[in-house]
Structure 1
Amino acid sequence: MPFVKSKIVSLTLIILGLVFLFSFYHRSQGGSYFPLIPATKPSVPPSENSDYVWAHVPQSYPVRELSRLPQSIPKSIPIIQHSFPHESREERKVRIARLDTVKGNFTHAWQGYKTHAWGSDEVAPLSGRAQNPFGGWAATLVDALDSLWIMGLKDEFEDALQQVEKLDFTSCSLEELNVFETTIRYLGGLLAAYDVSGQKYPVLLRKAVEVGQMLYVAFDTPNRMPITRWRFHDALKGVPQEAGDGVLVAEIGSLTLEFTRLSQLTNDDRYFDAIQRIMNEFDSQQDQTKLPGMWPVVVNARTLNFHEYSGFTIGGMADSLYEYLPKQHILLGGGSQQYRKLYRDAMVPMKEHIFFRPMTKGADVLFPGDVSSDGQTPLSELHTEAKAQHLSCFAGGMVALGAKVFDLPEDLDVARKLVNGCLWGYETGRLGIMPEIIRTVACEDTHNCVWDEDRWHHEVNQAFPDDNGSVEDKIKTRRLAPGITKIDDGRYILRPEAIESVFVLYRITGDRSLAEKAWVMFETIVKHTITDIAHAGLNDCTVDDPPKQDRMESFWMAETLKYFYLIFADPHIVSLDEYVLNTEAHPLRRTV
């Protein structure tokens, strides 16, 4: 029956044409009509809720052409981690005892959270209240998932997975969501737990995809720059969005690792494309700033002006932007040389203008400081503000990692001095803990710096011009150790940056003295922060009996205790040759 056959052929062609038109339209809206995934790679586990809201929010400014994940180059990343020798029976006994003590403090904090705040973001370590400063999606639980697995707490891990299954990323306890914090804690936490557990728990990747689909909507702006402080509920309703005029570089520039790993695991290039657009802007303007090579603390994401502002630091508000440059290079398996270039060009002004040597009684150390540049003053005349932040203590680990990855052996000495700077900050602290922000006397010559008591006294007097007491009284009243001129912020809020760099340098060099110093740090911190419920930050670590805060940030279990644990764990656990750790200490599996 040729007529029937002809009709069938015609109908078939019409249907195929409609499918093609629908497919083209759907792709033009930022979608993907077929999972173009090689058979050798796993596909994304489907969400149990096929009507997941964020996956269907229409894009007002769809991406027409995606940046693709670069192909990794096998063996392009050199061996990073030190080859640790066989330990003696006595060394192993000491190490295991310390490991168990760290683990015991972790389980103490975990049980406090589980008993008093299960399913909430945080437990208040003094009152036991449940608190939700990060959206109400169990931030502490998600942040601690990979720690549970790494420490062998598999039953607790399995219990936590049941709560993960219940997480609903379509409702939020906040009107305004911090996209950066959500990315590093939730997306990073879920991806890392999936990776370290051998990718055996599909729910972790499924929930990571849900977070990724949610956060992707924050990029739906005219220039595809994300809204970093995002009005969650407005976005869900489809209210038009635009990136901000004053955006912190750490918040817009530290999304690369998590979004890249999500693309690697799902074979969906949208996430890599989203962050690559940001980094291309940083790249194109790196030499146009008022301190060429570095970027100012604040940028204008709406107008794509990443070079106008005048303040430069690698401390708070900028830190992880720089931290992620060598790590992204590693995660991409050397498939892009862009991040090598960005890091090496940033290191030039860092070593020239940011890193400074504080005047001490014998310690040859470095700290990162701050610089302000108006773009007119010659760079040789810029003044480095000798302000040392606990947040900037990550720098030693970053420089050590960069030294290995980019074959910069001379930078390993810089890394040691940066790590020793923060260790000096701990060792000279009244309790043996480095405060949040201290000010020191900067040496004019980093190679020839001798102790000068008169200069220290002069700068202490300059720091307190309205105080009519003697300089000795000022030093005693403010509890200033030799070389410290002022303590801007005496808190210790359970931060991980110092032990992070000790860990990285230890894994790279094998220097056993670092493990000994880490143990002293651990015992001191726990002594002053432990409570009946968990652990608490300190309002002032410069006094003998420090008042405690009713706050335990999720990074205490995600980062600080994890780094202490990994220092005393077998070095093959979370090897730096197998994992890249995000800024929340979440280990993301390297593809090569």
Structure 2
Amino acid sequence: MFTIGRRKSSIYLIGGLVFFFVFLSYRHLDRDPPSSARPRPQNGPSSGPDRPGGESQSKWTHYKPRYPVDPASMRPLPTGKPLALPRIQADFPPETEAARADREAKQRRIRDAMLKCWDAYRQHAWLHDELRPITGGRRDPFGGWGATLVDSLDTLWIMGLRDEFDDAVAALEKINFETTSLNEVSIFETTIRYLGGFLAAYDLSGDKRLLAKAVEVGDMIYAAFDTPNRMPVVRWDLKGAARGVKQEAGTHVLLAEIGTFALEFTRLSVLTGNPKWFDASERITDMLRAQQQTTRLPGMWPILGDAKAMKFNDHPDHSLGALADSWYEYLPKMYALSGGLLPVYRQMYEDAMDTAIRYNLFRPMTETNEDILVSGSVYARTRDGKFETILKPEGQHLACFVGGMLAVGGKLVQNQTHIDKGAKVTEGCIWSYKVSPLGIMPEVFYLLPCESTSGCEWDEKKWRDTALEKANFGGEMMKEDEFESLIKQKRFPRGFTSIPDSRYHLRPEAIESVFILYRVTGRKDLLEAAWDMYLAIDKHTRTELAYSALIDMTVTDGKAPMSDVMESFWMGETLKYFYLMFSEPDLISLDEWVFNTEAHPLKRVLP
């Protein structure tokens, strides 16, 4: 759900590179899921089974803040009768026996992949953050708190793997959020993976031990908000905070880092009745809303801002993708989660999408004039007294979430344009998978934009000239015959002008939007597209133990090189979305649940 989210860890892989340039200028049984696999929704903290827990005993519960919130200024949870929001999901006709058999066979295959990974994780990396899927080692990039275990909880439940789920919940008492081996903790990653994971698993199962763990994590994260202006320290010195070291919000903070708390914090406040988390995220919302129309690209926010000065309107780069993604994703989802009782999120979403649709979405030149869209980034400036925008026609796997966001948002606000644009962005991601050498799209690539979204004819010379220009950028001029060799070596799909990052991180964003668009429209062709994507990923990333990210998805001479990394979102997001793609449509209905940017489903407030 890059995840920074998008979905969902990538913030440091990509964010580190971005900051560099910013500062220069900027597992196993073949069984069907039992009927009990249907989620048992719970609306409040007392509705689960009689299990111990429900209250945190962590030292973070007793943390004494330097800058406590004045009770008089604490924002209360919204009250009143939730609105009857428009339905999101399509009406699905009864399926034939043949269609059901085919769908369930695909589900079993995906569930078997999950079990393979879970067994390997349990054997080789239990209670560590990640399994190394080739060597069988382990990594701890997210605090060493068992990120894969927590991220996988709701996937196990949804797939009907109750024995595995129960084993995982029993192990939670061994996860200690009072200490970490890291010098710096990402509050963003901690929120979306751990807090989101516990909340979703609680909403599905009603097991109060999970709510207690959510409170424990919530209390820890809340300590990072103990700053003079109550803006969070997004890259947080946990050990220093525990010692009482004075904290201040950062001066170079990514939009997704500071904007991705609202869903998790609001749900935690609703379940506990304690408004402190809701208050904390609403302060951020208030700040960003106040500046939405004062940015260099009014309606959108730049990717970088100053949390200490509470200034998020001055940087020139604006994107729906990496570094900003989940803030935009959460706008329509907060409107849905609150049952429409927080209309400001609808307003911010509509204002932001008015701008993004106009400036960020572009139609690329393709050989067959595909009616697709891609979400790029925009550099906005005023030059010689005139406002101008420069489109960076960059495709990102991370930005594929935009299709699903627009489809959900369009249904909620009854805007057919949003739904149509979301479908075309999703189609753009499907196209990028299809034309790529292994059937898997790269992390980052460039295209040649048409001058109009109505399309443009294929221009061989223009494509070659643009690709050659990019190949020559910053180096010696390349001759035509050398360029032909480059194209052959790099295997650029026709239409791509460069692939600066040819990795595949086992990302979920493309299948996320394909899944959402299928639930919104009921289009059967999306099932075929999703299965083609799964087969390609399964073929090229499977290892003896589990699945690995790829270093280069353009390599077709032999096995594509692997990085020996399997981030927790592979089991928490990607496999979950593939499984739900081939589920019955009432399993985690989008009319009852919202997914956080790590694909953890949270229960909506319904009328």
Gaps of 5+ in 1: 1-37
- Calculate the TM-score normalised by the size of structure 2: 0.89
Q: Secondary structure at the match of 1:68?
A: coil
Pick one of 190, 208, 214 that aligns with 1:208: 214
Measured against aligned partners, the alpha-carbon deviations of 1:230-252 in whole angstroms (never above 9, x if no partner) come to 00100011100000000000010
Distance 2:80 2:294 in 1: 30
Q: Secondary structure at the match of 1:488?
A: strand
Equivalents in 2 of 1:559, 1:54: separation in Å?
29
2:521 is the alignment partner of 1:509: yes
Can you list the C-alpha shifts for 1:406-429, whole angstroms capped at 9, x where unaligned?
010122111111000001110010
Counterpart of 2:538 in structure 1: which amino acid?
V
The alpha carbon displacement at 1:457 in A equals 0.9
Per-residue deviation, residues 322-363 of structure 1 (Å, max 9, x unmatched): 000000110111001100110000011101110011001221
| Offset at residue 131 of structure 1 (A) | 1.4
CA distance in structure 2 between the aligned counterparts of 1:42 and 1:553, rounded to whole angstroms: 31
Q: How far apart, in 2, do the equivalents of 1:49 and 1:563 lie?
A: 31
What is residue 361 of structure 2 aligned with on the other side? 355
Residue number among 539, 554, 568 corresponding to 1:527 in the alignment: 539
Aligned partner (choices 141, 148, 164) of residue 140 of structure 1: 148
Does the residue aligned with 1:286 lie in a helix, a strand or coil?
A: helix
Equivalent positions of 1:273-352 (< 5 A) are 273-352=279-358
Asked if residue 126 in structure 1 is aligned to residue 134 in structure 2, the reply is: yes
User: Among the aligned pairs, what percent are the same residue?
Assistant: 48
- Rounded to whole Å, the distance in 2 between the matches of 1:375 and 1:348 is 20
**Structure 1 match to 2:8:** none
Question: Hey, what's the Cα distance between the residues in 2 that align with 1:113 and 1:314?
Answer: 33
Once the two structures are TM-superposed, the CA of residue 165 in structure 1 deviates from its matched residue by 2.3
Kindly report which structure 2 residues correspond to 1:374-523, keeping only aligned pairs within 5 A, or say none. Answer: 374-376=381-383, 381-465=388-472, 466-470=477-481, 471-523=483-535
Q: What is residue 596 of structure 2 aligned with on the other side?
A: 582
What is the aligned partner in structure 2 of residue 166 from structure 1? 174
One-letter identity of the residue aligned with 1:538: L
For residues 61 and 74 of structure 1, the distance between their equivalents in structure 2, rounded to whole angstroms, comes to 34
- Counterpart CA distance in 1 for 2:269 and 2:52 is 15
**Inter-partner Cα distance in structure 1 for 2:63 and 2:269:** 19
How far did 1:468 drift? 2.4
Superposed CA RMSD in Å reads: 1.9
Change (3 A) 1:66 1:44: farther
How far has the Cα of 1:461 moved from its partner?
1.3
Q: Work out the CA distance in 1 between the residues paired with 2:236 and 2:49.
A: 30
CA contact (8 A) 2:56 2:216 kept: no
Please state whether the residue corresponding to 1:518 is helix, strand or coil.
helix
How many Å separate the matches in 2 of 1:83 and 1:90? 20
CA distance in 2, matches of 1:347, 1:40: 39
In terms of mean alpha carbon deviation, does 567-576 or 72-81 score higher? 72-81
Distance, in Å, in 2 between the alignment partners of 1:477 and 1:39 is 58
Tell me how many residue pairs correspond in the alignment.
553
Instruction: Using the TM superposition, give the Cα deviation of residue 48 of structure 1 relative to its aligned residue in structure 2, in angstroms.
Output: 8.6
The answer as to 2:190 corresponding to 1:190 is no
Q: Aligned in 2, Cα 1:468/1:40: closer, same or farther, shift over 3 Å?
A: closer
Query: Of 562, 575, 585, which residue of structure 1 is paired with 2:576?
Result: 562
- Secondary structure of the residue aligned to 1:425 is helix
Q: Rg larger in 1 or in 2? A: 1
1:376, 1:403 → 2: CA distance? 35
Verify the 8 A CA contact 2:381 2:388 in the aligned structure 1.
Answer: no
**In 1: Cα distance, 2:470 partner to 2:586 partner:** 48
Higher relative contact order (CA 8 A, sep 6+): 2
Contact 1:291 1:379 (8 Å CA) reproduced: no
Q: Which amino acid aligns with 2:111?
A: K
Task: Report the Cα offset of residue 92 of structure 1.
Answer: 0.4
Q: Distance in 2 between matches of 1:146 and 1:232?
A: 27
State the one-letter code of the partner of 2:587.
Answer: I
3-state SS, counterpart of residue 349 of structure 1: helix
Verify the 8 A CA contact 2:45 2:54 in the aligned structure 1: no
User: Cα offset for 1:76?
Assistant: 3.0
| Structure 1 stretch displaced more, 474-483 or 572-581 | 474-483
- The 1-side partners of 2:169 and 2:328 are apart by 33
| Aligned-pair CA distance for 1:80 | 0.8
Show the counterpart of 1:371: 378
Q: Which runs of 5+ in 2 are unaligned?
A: 1-43
Give the secondary structure class of the aligned counterpart of 1:438: strand
CA contact (8 A) 1:493 1:538 kept: yes
Shift of 1:370: 1.0
Structure 1 residue aligned with 2:567: 553
Matched with 1:113 is: 121
Alpha-carbon contact 2:364-2:372 (below 8 Å) kept: yes
Is contact 1:44–1:206 with CA below 8 Å preserved after alignment? no
SS at match of 1:287: helix
The counterpart of 1:543, out of the listed 539, 555, 575, is 555
TM-score, length-scaled by structure 1: 0.91
User: How far apart are the structure 2 equivalents of 1:177 and 1:590?
Assistant: 29
| Equivalent pair of 1:536/1:549 in contact (CA under 8 Å) | yes
